[in-house]
Amino acid sequence: MDRRSCPGWCNFHCHTTCSDGSLTPQELAVQATDLGLEHLAITDHHSHRAYPLAQHTLATLQQQGCAVPKLWRGVEISAVLNTCLVHILALGYGEEAPLMPYLQGEAAYGEALQASVVVRAIHGAGGLASLAHPARYRLDFRCLIQAARQLQFDAVETWYDYDMLPRWCPSPLICDDVDQLRQDLGLLASCGTDTHSTSLKGR
């Protein structure tokens, strides 16, 4: 995965009307197919309701002879990391039970809001924990990525459009610095458009 992977090959961060997005799960699935995506994860905030709806649409499109993306389970979870409120992407999990406290449509509270607890729940569900858009928080991304590594995060959302351009494009310099640091720490890279609008080509 590199800066050219998104939005045309994979998208591991996007939203639907099941949280705060503008596309229905069905519309998003159709767009992903039209774009020729090979891998897709819908990561609504504290909700997995979009997954079966998108899955059904993709199955129908496939039956019609379309090449459809592989759909991965995903959810975006609010958590506290190093005293900072961040977002964690749970990707590719299989079992939902460990994540149920985070699939209720709103952020957890108390101990369950701690990043260490969230990461354990994601791993317990068989998924990967990725720190979303690390350079969008009040703390320096270097501190947050270091803290994430100590808590056994698996990945960092490396390629991200911090400039929020009309057509998604990873921001230079920042993304390169994030990429170098996550490599130095042995973390995987993820990327996604973080789409909330009506087009998967932008945010």
44: left (phi over 0), alpha (psi -120 to 50) or beta: beta
The per-residue pLDDT for range 1-29, each reduced to its tens digit, is 888 899 999 999 999 999 999 999 999 99
Q: Is residue 2 part of a domain?
A: no
**pLDDT given at position 2:** 86
Residue 52 maps to a domain: yes
Domain assignment present for residue 182? The answer is yes
User: Could you give the number of structural domains in the chain?
Assistant: 1
Bridge partners of 157, per DSSP, are 190
**Cα dihedral across residues 37, 6, 107, 181: positive or negative:** positive
The CATH code of the domain that includes 114 is: 3.20.20.140
Q: Which two tokens stand for residue 153?
A: 């995060």
In a domain, 101, yes or no: yes
Nearest alpha-carbon partner for 43 in 170, 131, 168: 131
Domain assignment present for residue 125? The answer is yes
- Report pLDDT digits (tens) over 156-201: 999 999 999 989 999 999 999 999 999 999 999 999 999 999 999 9
Cα 181 to chain centroid, rounded:
19
| Domain enclosing residue 96, as ranges | 10-191
- Averaged pLDDT score across all residues of the chain: 97
Q: Is residue 3 part of a domain?
A: no
